[in-house]
Amino acid sequence: MTVRVRFAPSPTGMFHVGGARSALQNWIYAKQQGGVFVLRIEDTDAARNKPEWTEGILSALDWIGISRGSYEGPYFQSANAGEHRAAAARLYESGRAYYCDCTREDVQARTGSQYQGYDGYHRDRGLGPGPGHALRFRTPDEGATVVIDLIRGEPTFENKLIEDFVIARGDGSPVFLLANVVDDMTMGITHVIRAEEHLPNTPKQQLLWEALGVKPPIWAHVPVVVNEKRQKLSKRRDKVALEAYRDEGYLASAMRNYLMLLGWAPSGDREIVPWSVIEDEFRLDEVNLSSAFFDEKKLRAFNGEYIRALPVAEFVDACQPWLTGTDTIAPPPWQPEEFDADAFAAVAPLAQTRIAVLSEIVPNVDFLFLASPLIDEAAWTKTMKDGSAELLDDAVAAFEALESWDAESLKSTLEAVGAERGLKLGKTQAPVRVAVTGRTVGLPLFESLEVLGRERTLTRIRAARLRLV
C-alpha cells in the first residue's frame, strides 16, 4: 500500500503557523514512507475564499520547503461537489441517512433523551427530500467507534452518545464533514495527520467511511498549538501568520526547525539540528500528547542562531530585500542610489552577530546610507549632557589630526580624549555615537566610523556640536 497523506487548508486568510506545522509533519511522514503528499484547497466557503489566499498558501509552502511540483495537487474541494452530492444520495438510499425538517429551536425544545443534541425525532417518520429538509446520518444505537490513532492509541466513542448529525443542508448542499470524507476517499488518502481539535469529529467521519463501504484511514492527532496563556492560538489575538514571520525576517530553516519541535524533540539534548536529522528521526508515535507552546521569544532566539551560522556571503544576500525594499518588504529610509554595497559588505560580519531577525538590519546600518543620521531624540536627551559640546570639539580636533583612519587608531584617539577629562571610554564614546549614528546602541563604533569615512564622520560630529550651541 502506498502511503498517501494530505494537507487541506482553506483559503480564507493568512497561513497559520499551526497549519505550517501540520504540513511539515505530513510532508516528512510521506517522505519517510516513500509515499505521496497531496495538497487540497478546501474552497467551498465561497463568501470568504479569495484567490490571493490560495496563492498565499502555495507561496508559504514554497518558503518552508514544500515546493510546487514536488507534491500532488493542488486539488480544489469545489471541483468535487458532484461526488459529495452522490455520496449523500447513496447514504439516503441505503437507509444510513434520513431527512429531517426540525429547526434549531425544535431540537432545543426537546430534552431528556439519550442523545446529545438532536434526539432522532425523524428517524422513522419517512420524511422525503424537499426544501428545508436536512439529511442526517443514522448513527448506530449500540456499540462503539474505535479510532486507530498513531499518537493517541485507540480513543473509543460510544455510538449512543453521538447524535444523528447533519450531512447535507436543507438546500441539498453537503456539509464539510461529508465533503471532507468523500474527498479523502476520492484521493485515496491512507493517513490523516492533523491537530487534536479535529478529534471530536473523527468518530463521525469514521462512521461515514464505513457506511460508504471504504476502510477508514489511519489517524494521527497532534497536540494543538497554544500561546503563553495555554490558549489555542487565535488569528484575532495572537501573531499566527507565517507570512508575518517571513516578512519580518525569520529564516525558513529556523522556522521549520522550530515548528517541528512543537510536540516532538530529536534525540539527545539538542534542539537546533540539521533538517536532514529531523527528516530522519521524526516519529509520529513519539509526539507528545500535551499542548504545544508556541514561544515567540524562543523562535526569535532560534532565528538568531541560524542567522549567525550563515556564511557571511549568504547573510549579505539574505538581507537584500530589506536593504533594497524589494517584494512586499517595506522600503528602507534611504534612496536606492544611496545604498553602498561595499560599505554594507564591510559591516555585515558585525551586524550578523547582533540581529535576531533580518529586518533589524535596517536600523543597524541606516547611518551608513543616509545623508544625515536619524536622531533618536530620547537617546540625544539622555546622552548630550553638560560637557558634551566640549567633548565633541576635542573629538573633532583629535580625529582631524589622525594620519590613519582605522578602527584601532580611532579607538585609541578617543580613549585619550576621554582620559584627559577623567572619563572611561564608554562615557566618552556615547555622545560621538549618537552624533554619528543617531542611537546609543548599534554596531561597534570604531569599525563603523572607519567604514563611514573621515569626512562624513567629522561632518556629523560638527553638526551635533552646532545643535548643542
On whether the CB atoms of residues 418 and 410 are closer than 8 A, the answer is no
Which residue's C-alpha cell is 526547525?
257
> How would residue 469 be classed by pLDDT, with cut points 50, 70 and 90?
confident
Query: What is the tally of structural domains in the chain?
Result: 5
What is the reported pLDDT for 269? 86
Same domain for 171 and 188, yes or no, is no
The pTM of this model reads 0.91
Domain harbouring 297, CATH code: 1.10.1160.10
Cβ 132 vs Cβ 97: under 8 Å: no
The DSSP symbol for 153 reads: B
Tell me which residue of 169, 20, 12, 48 sits closest to 104, measured CA to CA. Answer: 169
In this structure, the answer to whether residues 381 and 462 fall within a common structural domain is: yes
Are residue 456 and residue 391 in the same domain, yes or no?
A: yes
Look at residue 236 and tell me if it is in a domain: no
Beta strands in 232-383 (DSSP E): 292-293
What CATH number does residue 148 fall under? 3.90.800.10
The CATH number for 46's domain is 3.40.50.620
Q: Mean pLDDT, the chain, as a whole number? A: 94
Give the domain range for residue 272: 242-308
Higher pLDDT, 233 or 190: 190
Write down the pLDDT at residue 310: 98
Grid cell digits, residue 61: 509552502
Residue 150 inside a domain? The answer is: yes
Task: Report pLDDT for 308.
Answer: 98
| pLDDT at 13 exceeding the cut of 90 | no
Classify residue 234: in a domain, yes or no: no
Residues 131 and 61 in one domain: no
**Both 93 and 146 in a single domain?**
yes
Tens-place pLDDT, residues 304-348: 999 999 999 999 999 999 999 876 678 899 998 999 999 999 999
Examine the domain organization and report whether 260 and 381 are in the same domain: no
Q: Check whether residue 62 and residue 203 sit in a common domain.
A: yes
Q: Is residue 233 part of a domain?
A: no
Looking at the fold, whether 357 and 423 belong to one and the same domain comes out as no
Mean of the pLDDT values across residues 159-164? 93
The answer to whether residue 125 sits within a structural domain is yes
What residue has cell string 528602507? Answer: 332
Q: Of 233, 362, 247, which is closest to residue 296 (Cα–Cα)?
A: 233
* Per-residue model confidence (pLDDT) at position 329: 74
Residue labelled with grid coordinates 467511511: 209
* Residue 322 and residue 271 share a domain: no
> Active-site residue among 235, 239, 298, 385?
235
**In a domain? residue 232:** no
Interatomic CA distance for residues 176 and 56, integer angstroms: 22
Is residue 370 one of the residues assigned to a domain?
no
Please report the pLDDT score of residue 127 as a whole number.
93
- Select from 166, 190, 225 the last residue of a domain: 225
Let me know if residue 115 belongs to a domain.
Answer: yes
CB 242 within 8 A of CB 17: yes
pLDDT tens-digit map of 46-89? 777 788 899 999 999 999 999 999 999 999 999 999 999 999 99
Nearest to 192 by CA among 38, 11, 20: 38
**pLDDT above 90 as % of the chain:** 86
Residue 120 has pLDDT above 90, yes or no: no
Helix segments in 310-406, DSSP class H: 312-324, 341-352, 361-369, 377-383, 388-400
pLDDT surpassing 60 at residue 113: no
Q: What's the rounded Cα separation, in Å, for the pair 422 and 446?
A: 20
Q: Which amino acid appears at position 100 of this protein?
A: C
Give the pLDDT of residue 325: 85
Q: Is 229 a catalytic residue?
A: no
Q: Is the pLDDT of residue 116 over 80?
A: no
Residue 303 sits in the same domain as residue 284:
yes
Tell me: do 304 and 322 sit in the same domain: no
Would strands 225-226 and 292-293 be described as parallel, antiparallel, or unpaired? parallel
Q: Does residue 17 sit in the same domain as residue 45? A: yes
336 or 396, higher pLDDT:
396
Q: Residue 194: pLDDT band by 50, 70, 90 thresholds?
A: very high
pLDDT of amino acid 332: 92
Question: Looking at per-residue confidence, does 413 or 122 come out higher?
Answer: 413
